[in-house]
Each structure stands twice: as structure tokens, then as C-alpha cells.
Amino acid sequence: MAGKQQNHHHRTLPRFRSKTLILTLIISSFSILAILYTFPSSSVPSPKPTETSFVASLEQFLIHKAPKLASPVRDDTVRGESDDDDLKRKLDEKVFERENRLLSEDPVGFYPVKVYVYEMPKKFTLDLLWLFHNTYKETSNATSNGSPVHRLIEQHSIDYWLWADLISPESERLLKSVVRVHKQEEADLFYVPFFTTISFFLLEKQQCKSLYREALKWVTDQPAWKRSEGRDHIFPIHHPWSFKTVRKFVKNAIWLLPDMDSTGNWYKPGQVSLEKDLILPYVPNVDICDAKCLSESAPMRTTLLFFRGRLKRNAGGKIRAKLGTELSGVKDVIITEGTAGEGGKLAAQAGMRRSLFCLCPAGDTPSSARLFDAIVSGCIPVIVSDELELPFEGILDYKKVAVIVSSSDAIQPGWLVNHLRSLAPSQVRKFQTSLAQYSKHFLYSSPAQPLGPEDLTWRMIAGKLVSIKLHTRRSQRVVKRSRSICRCDCWIPNSTASNSLNHLA
């Protein structure tokens, strides 16, 4: 009998232990859930909303971030008189030590671009941002051709978006392609945060020229500039008129440009090249048409081809008047004169969202913001600009999102409309699908987003680093005036026109 009881005890003990274990696990689970719900803010941070409006982002920046910039970051920017040669020599030695160390490390892996942001006096940075902020609501100021000045500044505000991201705390930044450093010997590149477009449009002419000269002297007095003669320095010169009076003195630097006009109207021969400079997209004038918008607008896209803007332009933009004459009155084509004011923005936005194709001809320069307005509106761009250089073309394939035609073909009677109508519906759908995927590459935002234009900017510049170091070291050792410094890009324009090389024959 005792043996039976003992056997019964051995049979029931494991069952009792399993129930105890299950009960313990249940209690523990509830305890963990209670802890998580008690402290939600410390364990799961909520993502910050993305802001794509320049005015709204600037408002937040000036209110919340600018006060923290009153105390300069502890870096080694030179802020007074110094022994230039001695500082340049010491910096060169430290750079050599760093690069020699990197050379011996394992090359496998991703290295973000290291950027040193100069702590320039406020008159070159924050004061200009406040000047825009305090005047954009009240003014109706316009350029000689009628373009609203503050709207132009918004279109070319790439200097703000890049700087705002670079100086944000690392805990708030999302980009992995670039990191800010605070010692010059650790830097691959040096960013000059001077707002050249704001100063050009909002300061009196002589005041602007004087500020340009001051900024030039401040930057060129820096030891890092003297070491490389500016080759590793980045200047945001996105409006073709900005910094014009002094930019011949910084032609070795990397310029962030809207395009590369080769007619000589905007840039002198040898000043700009695809080797050293970078094309950045304009900031779109219109709101993005997201996936929901694209789906809803698809049945309403009954216009074949749409254009709203100024038909009378200078230089390469004369093609607009010819296209206007050729396309006027054609069925399913809308060509209207208009400006870039608030009413013009709404009219352009509505027209683009009702159209399959958007005409994007050259303006006074080969590029215009209209191309990027069309992309974010889901309207297939029709590019008619033979000398246009496109942003991030080393990464993006524009043949997937745009119809690109020569000026000579586009002005032939009936040619352009017949060409667009000949595209099969399946081709049109492929363009539209690619546009939906590509729009994120042209939306500046705060915080800057992965694969956004800020991110692609640094990915493109990273590809130039070896060439920058080559020319920097070469310039330090060659005997001055010992050989010609002219290169092919001094003579051959950036042109895709078929007759671009005829003058060399």
C-alpha cells in the first residue's frame, strides 16, 4: 500500500510543478506589461513629424534651435588673428596622420562623410534667416521679370536644409551618410554656412557686395582653406546670381548649383564642372501628391500636356515662346501664362494633378523648379532643355521618370503631341509608378530623411573625395606655373545637344 502511495506521489509531483511554473510565468508577464505601460515615454520614443515646408521648418528652427546656437560649439574654427602658416602646417600633419591610419585599416564597410561646419559670425547665418522670417509675410517684392523674391528664396533654400540637418544633435538626425566633426583634422570636407541667396535678394546692392567680400575673407583666412586652396570646401551657391561678384576667388571649391549653363551668361568658362561641383534639385513649389492622391487623381488626369509659367524668357529659355506658339490651341493641351505667387502655386498644382504630362522647357538657365514640381505631382515631365544637367544622375535614372526630347524635335509642327500620344498606356503606367517611387528623392525635410535630397547630396559628394584629395596634394607639390592647368572641361561645355562639339572641329 505504501508503495502504491509513493508511486502516486511521483506521478502527481511533475503535474504540480508544471502548474506552478505556468502560474509564475503568467504573473511575470503581467508584471512586465505593467512596467512597460507605466513608463512608455522612456522606453518607446515617438518619431518626430517630418516638415517639408521651408517657412514652417524655419519657424521651428529659429524658435527652438537658434537659441541653443548662441553658445558656440567647442570646435577649432579660427576666430581671430593667428600665425596662418604655422596653423596650416600643423593641420596638414594631423590630416596626414589620420589618413595614414585609415589607409591601414580594413577597407570593407561603410564610412560616412565627415563634415566640419564652420562657426561663422551670425551676420552670415542666423541674421539672414531672421531677415527672411521677418519680411516674407509683408513684402510683395518682385524681381525685374515679376518673380516673387521670397518664393525664389524658398526654391533655392538648399543652404538652409543642409545646414539645419548638419547642426542638429546626433540623437535627432536620421542620415547615416554624413557625420559632423568638431576637429578640422578629422574632416573630409568643410561646409560654409553662408546664405548667399537671401543676402542677394534682401540686402541693398552695395551692402550685399560688402557682405560677400567679408564672407570671402573670413573663409579664405582659415588654415584649412589655405591648406587645400578651397578644394575640400562646400559653397551653397544655388541661385545663379548669388555670390556672383566674388565667386571667381572660390572656383576651386565645391559649388552646390541648380545647373551648369555653358553659354557664359551665368558662369565663366572653367568655373564649374561635373568633376568638382554638384547639381541639387530646386525645392518644389507645390505640395506632394502622395500615394492616396495619386490613386484619386488618376481618373481625373484628362489633360495630355500642361504648362503654366512665363513664356518669354532669355538665353536658352527662348524655346518657351516657340513651344507656346506651336502648342497653342492643340486639343488636350493647356499652355497658359502665369507667375509663381500663391495663386500661381495653386493653379499650377491643380493643373499638374489633372495632367498626364507636364512640359518642362529651359528657363533663363537650363533648369527650372517646374521639373521637380511635376515629379512630386505625379505628372510625367517632358524635358526640353538640351544643356540641362540633372541632380544625382550618378544614382538616379531619369529615363524612368521623364520623356526627354531635343529642342529641334519639340518645335517641329505636330511632332511633340504625336510623340506623347504614341506612347502605349503600359509605358505611361511605368512612368507613373517610377514617379511615385522617385518623389522622395526631391523632398527636402526636417529632419532630413534617408534617400531624400540631403542624403543623396552626401552620397554624391562621397564619390568625389578621392579626386579632391588628389588635386589637393598635387597642388601642394607641383612647381607653380610649371605646366598648364587647363583641362578638357575648360573647353567642352556640359551639353547634350548633337552639335555641341562642332566649334572644336
Q: State the virtual CA torsion across 203, 164, 237, 253 in degrees, nearest 10.
A: 130
Q: What are the b/e assignments for 216-235, b being 16+ CB within 10 Å?
A: bebbeebbbbbbbbbbbbbb
pLDDT band at 23 (very low <50, low <70, confident <90, very high): very low
Q: What is the pLDDT of residue 389?
A: 93
Lowest mean pLDDT among 304-318, 353-367, 444-458: 304-318
Average pLDDT over residues 250-257: 96
Paired residues of 117 in beta bridges: 191
DSSP tag of 247: G
Cα–Cα distance, 390 to 297 (Å, whole number): 27
- CATH class of segment(s) 291-443: alpha beta
Is the pLDDT reported for residue 100 higher than 90?
A: no
Q: What is the pLDDT of residue 317?
A: 66
The candidate with the shortest Cα–Cα distance to 374, out of 438, 447, 458, is: 438
Q: What is the pLDDT of residue 82?
A: 57
Is the pLDDT reported for residue 344 higher than 70?
A: yes
Q: Got the DSSP string for 59-81?
A: HHIIIIIGGGGGS--S-----S-
Can you list the alpha helix ranges (DSSP code H) found in 179-282?
Answer: 196-202, 205-220, 223-228
Tell me which residue has cell 538648399.
158
Q: What is the pLDDT of residue 364?
A: 79
403-404 and 355-361 as β-strands: parallel, antiparallel, unpaired? unpaired
pLDDT band at 88 (very low <50, low <70, confident <90, very high): confident
Average pLDDT over residues 191-210: 96
Q: What is the pLDDT of residue 425?
A: 94
Q: State the virtual CA torsion across 33, 37, 42, 47 in degrees, nearest 10.
A: 110
Is the pLDDT reported for residue 31 higher than 80?
A: no
Q: What is the pLDDT of residue 497?
A: 43
Q: Supply angle C-alpha 230, 236, 238, rounded to 5.
A: 130
DSSP tag of 482: S
Is the pLDDT reported for residue 26 higher than 80?
A: no
Lowest mean pLDDT among 67-71, 171-175, 251-255: 67-71
Q: What is the pLDDT of residue 68?
A: 80
Paired residues of 179 in beta bridges: 114
Cα–Cα distance, 314 to 308 (Å, whole number): 17
Proportion of the chain above pLDDT 70, given as a percent: 76
pLDDT band at 267 (very low <50, low <70, confident <90, very high): confident
Is the pLDDT reported for residue 2 higher than 70?
A: no
| Each residue's pLDDT tens digit, 45-81 | 445 678 999 999 999 999 988 888 765 566 777 766 5
Domain ranges of the chain: 54-279, 291-443
Average pLDDT over residues 214-228: 94
Cα–Cα distance, 39 to 246 (Å, whole number): 56
Q: What is the pLDDT of residue 277?
A: 96
Q: What is the pLDDT of residue 101?
A: 67
Lowest mean pLDDT among 318-332, 441-455, 482-496: 482-496
Cα–Cα distance, 191 to 177 (Å, whole number): 15
The candidate with the shortest Cα–Cα distance to 389, out of 225, 220, 255, 262, is: 262
Q: What is the pLDDT of residue 350?
A: 94
Tell me what the pLDDT averaged over the chain comes to: 82
> 10 Å Cβ neighbour count for 74?
8
Proportion of the chain above pLDDT 90, given as a percent: 57
355-361 and 380-384 as β-strands: parallel, antiparallel, unpaired? parallel
Q: What is the pLDDT of residue 228?
A: 93
pLDDT band at 14 (very low <50, low <70, confident <90, very high): very low
Q: What is the pLDDT of residue 238?
A: 95
pLDDT band at 485 (very low <50, low <70, confident <90, very high): low
Q: What is the pLDDT of residue 77?
A: 77
